Amino acid sequence: MDLKFGTDGIRGPVQTEITPEVCLKIGHAAGIVLKEEGFDTVMIGKDTRVSGYMLEAALEAGFIASGVNVRLLGPIPTPGVALLTKTFRKQFGIVISASHNNFLDNGIKIFDANGVKISRDLERKIEKVLKSDLNLVETSTLGKAETFHESGARYIEFCKSTVPSGVSFNNLRIVIDCAHGACYKVSPAIFRELGAEVIEFGVQPDGFNINHECGSTHPELAQKMVVKHRADFGVTLDGDGDRVILIDKEGNILDGDDLLYILAFANPNRTGVWSGVVGTLMSNHGLEEGIKKLGYKFVRADVGDKFVSKKLTEKGWMLGGESSGHIICRDLISTGDGTIAALKVISSLLMLEKDPQEVLANYSKFPQININIPVKNKDLVNDSEIKSFIKEIEGDMTVGRVLVRPSGTENIIRVMVEASVENVAKKFAEDIAKLIKSKS
């Protein structure tokens, strides 16, 4: 089986790629490799996709066949699995989720005992074992399975504990869109138990409606709800709960760049572990300028929260994220967590006694145009004519950036053009997209 890990684990259509047979072999291969690393138990969580129970059973069988014990967590946000793997130490975690994709896709993310996604070296070892036959361990050494019933409650209590004791949500009205995903129970409960009045939607998963015209990839729905209900904030999460986009009381959409700036602005200590912020190649140039004006260093990682996490570890810093809404607050949790990021941003604004727009007035974004082009072959990004055309555009731009890259999770080529004038960015982005479409 020639299966490769992408930027966020393994992901694809259930019908053709992430099948029960594939998951059986992944469980077996991952079990062999991670058992050699000293792990004896895997914790398996999932989102609300209809395929989740089927793939969970296949993974469970694969791990048991390799001699690894299994703890089933049920539906729980991705960062909840990361939290529990760290809490229980010598155990690793599996999340069955395709994040912000629709129900036709599913995927697998693997966390180590530190609550971070496994290294590329371990991914390569698993890929190598996947190419060999599945061989059961001796019957006497097969793994055992149990259900862990406290995962949701533990995650709720942990999230609540991240809010400073002097901060009160009692007078807040908050709209929460859980995208019919893994957060549908826990996140509304967290805000409600902190005292907020919660208006919730996207909390009726049926296996098929995850991320469908809702959640962090469609924040316009929460935007309308905030205005309609005169709420103080809107919180929009994605299907597995590791992304967040916020809405302020005026209905303004705050993306990951905005949230990173607010958190950096609110932090009074800008030395040591707080001396720098990590963004990605997609982070707006205006964010970089704004962060530096606050007195921080700013570095860019490759696109993908695992690369942000890796860069934070290398630098020894605490704060990083992506414009898509992956925000990593390493002082609180080891991976991107949409709910915790929302709690920290709202808490920071309450302590500052400022509205988001007051803080964001201190930096300006460059106009940025993003176009996603469905393709059959993502290797088109290496086409000589396309690369030459991009280089020509970069030569024409006095101020700006061009980024054309294959998606690590979908059959899409992503085009981003940033310029000092929006019409310029739009024209160049559309020109690149047109060329790619003509070749796809």
The answer to whether the CB of 425 falls within 8 A of the CB of 400 is yes
CB atoms inside a 10 Å sphere around CB 108: 24
Kindly report, as residue ranges, where domains of CATH 3.30.310.50 are found in the chain: 368-439
154-360 maps to which CATH number? 3.40.120.10
Q: Which of 26, 79, 84, 92 is nearest to 55 (CA)?
A: 26
pLDDT at 5: 87
10-149 maps to which CATH number? 3.40.120.10
The Cβ-side half-sphere exposure at 115, using a 13 Å CA radius, reads 21
The span from the CA of 233 to the CA of 252, in Å, is 10
The span from the CA of 215 to the CA of 221, in Å, is 8
The span from the CA of 313 to the CA of 311, in Å, is 5
For residues 41-66, one letter each, b for 16 or more C-beta atoms within 10 angstroms of the residue's C-beta and e for the rest, the string is: bbbbbbbbbbbbebbbebbbbbbbbb
Q: Which of 91, 86, 81 is nearest to 35 (CA)?
A: 91
Q: Which of 235, 236, 181 is nearest to 208 (CA)?
A: 181
Active-site option among 51, 66, 97, 99: 99
CB atoms inside a 10 Å sphere around CB 439: 11
pLDDT at 399: 64
The span from the CA of 322 to the CA of 403, in Å, is 15
Cα–Cα distances (Å) from 15 to 11, 20, 21, 367, in that order, read 12, 9, 11, 39
pLDDT at 184: 98
Q: Burial level of 243, CB count in 10 A (0-12/13-18/19+)?
A: buried
| Torsion-angle region of 108 (φ positive above 0: left; ψ -120 to 50: alpha; else: beta) | beta
CB atoms inside a 10 Å sphere around CB 313: 14
The Cβ-side half-sphere exposure at 313, using a 13 Å CA radius, reads 14
pLDDT at 1: 65
pTM (two decimals) = 0.92
The span from the CA of 45 to the CA of 17, in Å, is 20
The answer to whether the CB of 328 falls within 8 A of the CB of 320 is yes
For residues 7-19, one letter each, b for 16 or more C-beta atoms within 10 angstroms of the residue's C-beta and e for the rest, the string is: bbbbbbebeeebb
Residue that is written with structure tokens 């020639």 in the block? 2
The span from the CA of 245 to the CA of 222, in Å, is 10
Q: Which of 79, 7, 26, 76 is nearest to 48 (CA)?
A: 76
pLDDT (tens digit, 0 to 9) for every residue of the chain, 440 residues total?
A: 678 888 788 999 999 999 999 999 999 999 999 999 999 999 999 999 999 999 999 999 999 999 999 999 999 999 999 999 999 977 899 999 999 999 999 999 999 999 999 999 999 999 999 999 999 999 999 999 999 999 999 999 999 999 999 999 999 999 999 999 999 999 999 999 999 999 999 999 999 999 999 999 999 999 999 999 999 999 999 999 999 999 999 999 999 999 999 999 999 999 999 999 999 999 999 999 999 999 999 999 999 888 999 999 999 999 999 999 999 999 999 999 999 999 999 999 999 999 999 999 999 999 999 999 999 888 888 999 999 999 889 887 766 899 999 887 778 999 999 998 899 999 999 999 999 999 88
368-439 maps to which CATH number? 3.30.310.50
Clarify whether 99 is annotated catalytic.
Answer: yes
Q: Which of 385, 345, 382, 411 is nearest to 105 (CA)?
A: 411
3-state secondary structure of 96: strand
Kindly report, as residue ranges, where domains of CATH 3.40.120.10 are found in the chain: 10-149, 154-360
